[in-house]
Structure 1
Amino acid sequence: MAPHVRFPGVDEELQKLLDANMDQAPARRRAREAFKDIQLGIDHILFKAPTHGLKIKESYEVNSRGLEIFSKSWLPETSQPKALVCYCHGYGDTCTFFFEGLARKFASHGYGVFAMDYPGFGLSEGLHCYIPHFDRLVDSVIEHYSKVKENPEYCTLPSFLFGQSLGGAVALKIHLKQPNAWNGAILVAPMCKIADDMVPPWLLTQLLIGLAKFLPEMKLVPNKDLAEAAFRDLKKREMTTYNVIAYKDKPRLKTAVEMLKTTQEIERRLVEVSLPLLILHGEADIVTDPSVSKALYEKARSSDKKLKLYKDAYHSLLEGEPDEMIVRVFDDIISWLDEHSTKTINS
């Protein structure tokens, strides 16, 4: 089990919710509900984004596989959005913590932002951080965002995928399954390849792949401290403890195998990527490999593609860097979106 964190000033009842087994969604939902005001009160640049002038909505909907999926949207209150930004979150994560701040910033710049928790992640139903089939996960995301894009209010607007880390792999798989459905993708430290240092030695990997056939849900894969590897700013690294429904245990066997298989598939298929791309990666990222972002940039057959590498930056470009770097990366994304939203509308 991952160690439980004690929060100063938190009463016993609340601490009990945080200490509960989070394998299933009801426990995660209780913890988040009780803790969300504390989360939004932390001293992080993302949570200083204003909420006035925004329409924010949370909902649960049962998908075609019978799983209750959590989703959230942030829209400008008084104007039609310039475009839709559909978010794909990272490994073990949720769209309700750090992304809350990012989504508000996008919406205050005039974008309609839509996000969901994958099955088994965050507030959605399913065994926590268990990916039995990566393709099935991707299909769930396609199903959700297809409904968003078919809404008569938005169906004429440009739409962009925005994937971080594992979400970058999800976004690329969505594009490979729907080559002409999107006007572009923003990929932040995309998981096209897990950095060699994060993968167990070859022999152990083969053993784990074999074991996954018999014990798919077991939390057995050795892993490094992701917050330490991903967050450069120490104060912000400490704030990751407030992400109370993030998955912090060892990866489940089948999840690890599916992630490995998916990155190998994406690496093979980089040449098939054909949509407008903005790829952003920290040069000091030791979680996902920046050299594969370079390969994606070089091999993708998109005629419209841009790669931005940030010197000394770690994996969590928008959450874990010093404030000035976060602002720089965010501004780079907004200027690309602004350019591509008008380009799409005018073409």
Structure 2
Amino acid sequence: MEFEYQEEYVKSSRGVQLFTCRWLPSDSSSPKALVFICHGYGMECSGFMRECGIRLARARYAVFGIDYEGHGRSSGSRCYIKKFENIVNDCHDFFKSVCAEKDYRYKGRFLYGESMGGAVALLLHKKDPLFYHGAVLVAPMCKISEKLKPRPVVVNMLTGFENLVPKWKIVPTKDVIDSAFKDPFKREEVRNNKLIYQDKPRLKTALEMLRTSMMVEESLKLVTLPFVVLHGDADTVTDPEISKALYDRARSKDKTMKLYAGMWHALTAGETDENVGVVFADIIAWLDKHAAEGNLLVEPLHETFNVGIQKLPSPPPAAEKHSHHRSYLCGFQGTAHASFSYVASSPDCCSRARWSRDVKIMFIDERGKRNISNCFPFKLHSTFSVLKY
């Protein structure tokens, strides 16, 4: 085998269990450098970023990925970003814990960010400007396109509700998968990946991403590390002008921009095999040039370096079931709404739940009047659609 794949769970400084994985060159070869993956919004590493990990490992790079809190196989409410800085801090801690490992202390360090992961990578660089030796940025989310920027009145309205219903899946968006993945077969593969979040963005998540994009845009001139930014000129998810702005404003003396004619947003996972091969060839060529011996000055970390990451001895067992009383808005066959408490079998409920008790159902008639049906009779384990608020 040309590479070795490993999985590991770690616990963050906030006590969150995070899934991590790594693709390593075969045992007989020492890696040229370390590459740290920052995946995109709603994505995950073990499946979606697998092709990236394998290609880079075969090119003799040690590749490390982490599923953000609430993403993929990590714990947390699905795709809920309470604070974007939590993502950055978790990546910062995990990546540095890898760099402190004995085999990797003197290896070059490169960031690899796709879409929202591009913003994560740039914020990691901002957090420690001299630590990483370069970055590969694929269609990065580092500026809000003027064509997509919401009006201030809309932002103000949503901001007024974010602390009341932060996890509400209310933000209207177009189908990103249809817009990002050009190849229909690969698009279907993404839809079948149950670890990828495919629902509407949560209110707090959307606002955090908006604020982060604006913050990154304001600090583009502070970017000083070597980087290559790659973008499809037919990308409708993140405007190619975003990458041009990064290239123009960054103070980096070593910067490269690759613009691919006719390609969409998912350059490494949504194009034809031929196009994907072209993109990865450019990425690996750039890494090879910048990871060459003699080009890097590595300040080693040591095992005593405290990064707040606790390695777990084995993947954590399935979450123990507990009873939690919570309030929900419920719709029964599209006609009834109720506000009540129930006993859930897990902390984070899915879109459907089973009930084992009678409840009070509040019907809303055409005139908006509320009619209460006391102790509406439901049989044991009747199933309802649930909207958490």
Q: TM-score band, normalised by the shorter chain?
A: 0.7 to 0.9
The counterpart of 1:336, out of the listed 281, 286, 310, is: 286
- Residue identity in the other structure for 1:249: D
Work out whether 1:217 is the aligned partner of 2:161.
no
Match of 2:68 in 1: 118
Identity of matched residues, %: 45
Work out whether 1:58 is the aligned partner of 2:7.
yes
The counterpart of 2:21, out of the listed 64, 69, 72, is: 72
Contact 1:85 1:162 survives alignment (8 Å): yes
Give the TM-score of the pair, scaled to structure 1. Answer: 0.82
Shift of 1:67: 0.7
Contact 1:197 1:286 survives alignment (8 Å): no
Matches within 5 A, 1:281-300: 281-300=231-250
- Residue identity in the other structure for 1:214: L
Shift of 1:346: 6.0
- Residue identity in the other structure for 2:100: E
- 1:72-95 alpha-carbon deviations (Å, 9 max, x no partner): 011112111000000000000100
Shift of 1:201: 5.1
**Counterpart secondary structure, 1:121:** coil
Evaluate the alpha carbon distance shift between residue 199 and residue 219 of structure 1 in structure 2; reply closer, same or farther with a 3 A threshold. farther
Contact 2:133 2:296 survives alignment (8 Å): no
* 77-86 or 235-244, which deviates more: 235-244
Match of 1:104 in 2: 54
Shift of 1:197: 5.4
Matches within 5 A, 1:1-347: 52-77=1-26, 78-195=28-145, 202-342=152-292, 345=295
Distance 2:295 2:148 in 1: 42
**Counterpart secondary structure, 2:102:** coil
Give the TM-score of the pair, scaled to structure 2. Answer: 0.74
- Residue identity in the other structure for 1:211: F
Match of 1:12 in 2: none
Shift of 1:136: 1.8
* 234-243 or 120-129, which deviates more: 234-243
Contact 1:84 1:158 survives alignment (8 Å): yes
Shift of 1:199: 5.3
Contact 1:158 1:344 survives alignment (8 Å): no
Evaluate the alpha carbon distance shift between residue 343 and residue 305 of structure 1 in structure 2; reply closer, same or farther with a 3 A threshold. farther
Distance 1:199 1:250 in 2: 18
Choose 1 or 2 for highest CA Rg. 2
Distance 1:294 1:322 in 2: 24
- Residue identity in the other structure for 1:257: L
- 1:245-300 alpha-carbon deviations (Å, 9 max, x no partner): 11111101110000000000111110000000110011111111211210110110
Higher strand share: 2
Evaluate the alpha carbon distance shift between residue 190 and residue 108 of structure 1 in structure 2; reply closer, same or farther with a 3 A threshold. same
Distance 2:23 2:169 in 1: 35
- 1:286-343 alpha-carbon deviations (Å, 9 max, x no partner): 1112112101101100100000011111100001112211110000000000000005
**Counterpart secondary structure, 1:308:** strand
Shift of 1:208: 1.4
Contact 1:195 1:286 survives alignment (8 Å): no
Q: RMSD value over aligned CA atoms?
A: 1.4
Shift of 1:211: 1.2
Distance 1:276 1:88 in 2: 17
- Residue identity in the other structure for 2:10: E
Distance 2:142 2:296 in 1: 32
Higher helix share: 1
Distance 2:294 2:91 in 1: 23
Contact 1:272 1:300 survives alignment (8 Å): yes
Distance 1:237 1:62 in 2: 33
Distance 2:223 2:281 in 1: 25
Contact 1:278 1:336 survives alignment (8 Å): yes
Distance 1:135 1:222 in 2: 24
Distance 2:141 2:193 in 1: 21
- 1:218-259 alpha-carbon deviations (Å, 9 max, x no partner): 111001101111011222222211211111111011100000
Distance 1:267 1:185 in 2: 17
- Residue identity in the other structure for 1:131: I
Evaluate the alpha carbon distance shift between residue 244 and residue 194 of structure 1 in structure 2; reply closer, same or farther with a 3 A threshold. farther
* 182-191 or 100-109, which deviates more: 100-109
Distance 2:20 2:179 in 1: 28
Contact 1:68 1:125 survives alignment (8 Å): yes
Shift of 1:200: 5.0
- Residue identity in the other structure for 1:152: K
Evaluate the alpha carbon distance shift between residue 194 and residue 344 of structure 1 in structure 2; reply closer, same or farther with a 3 A threshold. farther
Evaluate the alpha carbon distance shift between residue 94 and residue 53 of structure 1 in structure 2; reply closer, same or farther with a 3 A threshold. same
Shift of 1:204: 3.0
Evaluate the alpha carbon distance shift between residue 152 and residue 301 of structure 1 in structure 2; reply closer, same or farther with a 3 A threshold. same
Contact 1:198 1:223 survives alignment (8 Å): no
- 1:119-165 alpha-carbon deviations (Å, 9 max, x no partner): 11111111110111111210011011010011110010001000000
Distance 1:343 1:320 in 2: 33
Contact 1:282 1:317 survives alignment (8 Å): yes
Contact 2:145 2:242 survives alignment (8 Å): no
